[in-house]
Amino acid sequence: MNYEKIFLEKLEELKAQSLYRYIPKLDVGADKYIKVNGKRCLNLSSNNYLGLSKNQSLIEASKEAVSMFGCSSSASRIVTGNYSIYDELEHKVAQFKGYERCLIFGCGYVANLSVISAICDRDWVILSDKLNHASIIDGIRLSNAKYFRYKHNDMDHLEKLLREHSSKKKLIVTDTVFSMDGDIAELQDIVYLSQKYGAMVMVDEAHATGIFGKGRGVVHELGLK
């Protein structure tokens, strides 16, 4: 087997399909204006729409935390990498969101992988909006659950799938604000259908937290739980 040849061919294939990814060279990133090859550009491709990357009180708090606790937790949280400030943060976020408990992850990808694979296994059916973020799809794959995509925001299609799997344990999962199109899930209808067919609902509020429902997200904005 000539693995080098296999990989080079694959790379050429990706380039021919315009699917080859380049990592942009940035002189200065994480701001409203970024510098690319010395040129000042307005950044329309980041998730920093609340401007938190340059929030002065967050910068000061981060510096203080690093000087108190160092720049590594030294191990995973379930070993010896836990700190009281994590517990404090989770308590505050849970209070803010109006829930009993909260668990903070390092990024959204890991949150979706962890939550879905912790809740569901091969005995579950997961119904997922076609435009959900890729991390949700990876979480579903990791869980080994049976997986069906419903057409984007199509409640008739969702209901059909719920009816077909009425005897199974079911999870409906959706972005609340969709990451690519920026539209919003039909959450009230999803909750109604979940109650009608005995399903759980999981929402990804990555693009709604800080924006809707006084910062608490679309679930809060619509008065849902």
Separation of alpha carbons 222 and 144, rounded Å:
32
Residue 153 binds ligand PLP, judged by CB under 6 A: no
Shortest approach of ligand PLP to residue 207 CB, angstroms? Answer: 6
Q: Is the dihedral of CA 105, 111, 113, 116 positive or negative?
A: positive
Confirm if 173 and 128 have CB atoms less than 8 A apart: yes
Confirm if 153 and 183 have CB atoms less than 8 A apart: yes
Q: Which residues contact 141 (CB under 8 A, 6 or more apart)?
A: 147
Separation of alpha carbons 3 and 9, rounded Å:
10
Residue 82 binds ligand PLP, judged by CB under 6 A: no
Residue 204 binds ligand PLP, judged by CB under 6 A: yes
Residue 30 binds ligand PLP, judged by CB under 6 A: no
Nearer to ligand PLP, 34 or 175 (CB): 175
Residue 108 binds ligand PLP, judged by CB under 6 A: yes
Nearer to ligand PLP, 197 or 213 (CB): 213
Residue with tokens 């010896």: 80
Q: Which residue is nearest to ligand PLP (CB)?
A: 108
Residue 179 binds ligand PLP, judged by CB under 6 A: yes
| Among 109, 131, 165, 215, interactor with ligand PLP by CB under 6 A | 109
Q: Is 119 helix (H, G, I), strand (E, B) or coil?
A: helix
Residue 210 binds ligand PLP, judged by CB under 6 A: no
Residue 133 binds ligand PLP, judged by CB under 6 A: yes
Separation of alpha carbons 42 and 64, rounded Å:
31
Residues of this chain that interact with ligand PLP (CB under 6 A) are 47, 107-109, 112, 133, 135, 175, 179, 204, 206-207
